[in-house]
Amino acid sequence: MSREDILRRAGAHIVDGVVRGFGDLAAELEAAHVGALLIDLSHRDRLAVAGPDAPGFLNRILSLDVLTLPVGAGGRPFLLDARGRIVGAFRLLRTGPDAYLFEASRGHGAAIIEQLDHYHFGERIAVEPVSEAWALLTIQGPAAPRVLASLDLPAPDAPYGHASASLGGAPGRVARVDRGTGPGFDLWCAPEGFVPLWRGLIEAGARAGGVDALEIARIEAGRPDHPAELGDHATPLEVGAADGCSEGKGCYPGQEVIERTLAIGRPARALIAVTAPDPLVAGAPVRVDDAVAGTLTSAAALPDGRHVGLALVKRAFAQASTLVSQGVTLTQRPRTQETPP
């Protein structure tokens, strides 16, 4: 039985290779909030970067100090342009002294490879897509550690910490990646291990879910993602992704802007979380009275009829209690993660 076979037999609604859900969005969200939600993310892009010059090369161009990351650690670095804007966003796992795995949004892997090639001047590195070599699952929610423990699988504590494990009878890797309110774990498994791993996690108490529930959980938690928030319209510090930038790190593209902003301590814009009684449209302008305050970057409808979103607004409006987007009143709500992993 293939990965898609077992997903479809379980009732998955699959669109263009992406598992959207299993027919009960409210139950999937409940699992993300109080249980363990299991989602197939194999549609996302995965890359391997390796070679004796890989650590130094990556450290020269990324916003995060990857040289100091031990094997078994990771992070969320950025490729930036000269203005400090994000041109590449991904999660990185250091799997060996000279080896790394990247995970990025669907279709973004090619852009990352292009950016890496732009800065490649003869260093001994190899960059290759490995999406076919690995399936990718994520399990999110407060019961996720218990589910993993019941299968004798590791559940790393540190953000982006990871460990090798047998997943479905094949070598794999478990990484701490909180994609909703947390905790959460990504499971990199060999394609032949997907079916037994999926079955084992479901039998251990995880609930099957899709990206629609995960997107709502992400927005509820206030976590920026690519390309909605993490794109060339923003800097990492504006969207609350300071964890992807190492203060005082040596020169890299966009470093002057990042260091200057860190020194001032006040990015020009801020990411805020909002709720509304009516539908929201991502990309629509946000206003305070007659002034344009910013842009709605993400929006989602909850099963109970409420609507939630994220907005990137000018610092002067970051504390405004009420904003408006296309005639819909937005009320600010707390972000559960100010600097989300």
Domain ranges of the chain: 3-44+132-220, 45-129, 222-333
Q: Which burial class, exposed, middle or buried, applies to 78 when counting CB atoms under 10 A from its CB (0-12, 13-18, 19+)? A: buried
Instruction: Indicate if the pLDDT at residue 335 is higher than 90.
Output: no
The pLDDT of residue 336 is 63
- Band of residue 127 on the pLDDT scale cut at 50, 70, 90: very high
Cα–Cα distance between 62 and 64 in angstroms, integer? 5
Query: Can you give the pLDDT at residue 330?
Result: 96
Contact criterion met (CB below 8 Å) for 340 and 183: no
pLDDT of 224 higher than 90: yes
Residue 267: per-residue pLDDT: 94
Which pLDDT band, with edges at 50, 70 and 90, does 287 fall under? very high
Query: 222-333: what fold?
Result: Elongation Factor Tu (Ef-tu); domain 3 (2.40.30)
Topology annotation, domain 3-44+132-220: Gyrase A; domain 2 (3.30.1360)
- Residue 24 has a CB neighbour count (10 Å cut-off) of 16
pLDDT score of 340? 37
Task: Summarize the confidence of residues 157-177 as an average pLDDT.
Answer: 98
Are 168 and 194 in contact, with CB atoms under 8 Å apart? yes
Q: How far is CA 101 from CA 50, 104, 134, in A?
A: 9, 10, 11
Is pLDDT of 87 > 90?
yes
Given this chain, do its domains 3-44+132-220 and 45-129 carry the same CATH topology? Answer: no
Provide the pLDDT confidence category of residue 322 given band limits of 50, 70 and 90. Answer: confident
Per-residue pLDDT tens for 6-48? 999 999 999 999 999 999 999 999 999 999 999 999 999 999 9
Q: What pLDDT is stored for residue 258 in this prediction?
A: 96
pLDDT value at residue 266: 85
Here the tokens at position 337 are 């993660």
Closest residue by Cα to residue 264 from 290, 229, 237: 237
Is residue 339 scored above 50 in pLDDT? no
Q: How confident is the model at residue 341 (pLDDT cuts 50, 70, 90)?
A: very low
- Percent of the chain at pLDDT exceeding 70: 98
- What integer is the mean pLDDT of 138-166? 98
Looking at residues 182-205, what average pLDDT do you find?
97
- What is the reported pLDDT for 318? 93
pLDDT the model gives residue 93: 98
116: burial class by Cβ within 10 Å (0-12, 13-18, 19+)? buried
Is the domain covering 45-129 a CATH 3.40.50.2020 domain? no
The amino acid present at 51, given as its one-letter code, is G
